Amino acid sequence: MMQRQFPTEAALRNAIVEEALSWVGTPYRHQASRRGVGCDCLGLLRGVWRNVFGREAENPGVYSADWAESTGEDRLLAAARRHCLEGALSEPGPGDMVIFRWRPHLPAKHVGIMTAGDAFVHAYEGSAVVVSPLVPQWRRRIAGIFAFPMPAPSRSGK
């Protein structure tokens, strides 16, 4: 798959939102990352990244449903910091990745992608990929807000 180029950050954000919305209705399947077939929240993120950037950011390896609690590591936040832009984003915008922590003492283990307005796309366990409003119950669980990076220009000149 070839890496796509985007003339502006707005074009990148629009592509991310469009791709994320195309996953709505995909059944929830732990560790899967295939649109229309199945995915979990990380699989949704991996699939959107793959379809927008033309490659995986990294392979997370096999993980259990309780991976965050069993290791105690904030692996999801650490991976987001390796690949995305974390900054002074106090409010998530369209195309931003939002990472959630269920309880203050637990590692973050849920991720979604913001759409227009106060809504985000995420894979909901026991259901499917859905669009949910970013209501106060979700907002207070935000552990991080990240912008996807602009792809580096192609070296081939194409």
Asked if residue 64 is part of any domain, the answer here is: no
pLDDT-based confidence at residue 100 (cuts at 50, 70, 90): very high
- Paired with 120 in beta bridges are 114, 132
| pLDDT value of position 74 | 84
158 pLDDT band (50/70/90 cuts)?
very low
Considering its fold, how many domains does the chain have in total?
1
pLDDT tens by residue, 41-80: 999 999 999 999 998 887 776 665 664 455 567 888 999 9
Q: What is the pLDDT of residue 72?
A: 66
With beta carbons less than 8 A apart as the criterion, state whether 46 and 55 touch.
no
Mean pLDDT of 121-140: 95
Q: What is the 3-state secondary structure (H, E, C) of 102-145?
A: CCCCCCCCEEEEECCCCEEEEECCCCEEEEEECCHHHHCCEEEE
Q: Is the pLDDT of residue 157 over 60?
A: no
User: What value does the mean pLDDT of the chain take?
Assistant: 87
142 found inside a domain: yes
Among 121, 114, 124, 123, which Cα is nearest to 91's? 114
Is 155 a member of any domain?
Answer: no
CA atoms of 69 and 87, how far apart (whole Å): 26
The residue range of the domain holding 103 is 9-58+70-147
Residue 106 has pLDDT above 50, yes or no: yes
pTM of the model: 0.89
Domain assignment of residue 95, yes or no? yes
Cβ atoms 122, 137 nearer than 8 A: no
Other beta carbons less than 10 A from residue 23's beta carbon: 24
Region for 63 from its dihedrals, namely left if φ exceeds 0, alpha if ψ lies in -120 to 50, beta otherwise: beta
Whether residue 31 is contained in a domain is answered as yes
pLDDT of residue 155: 57
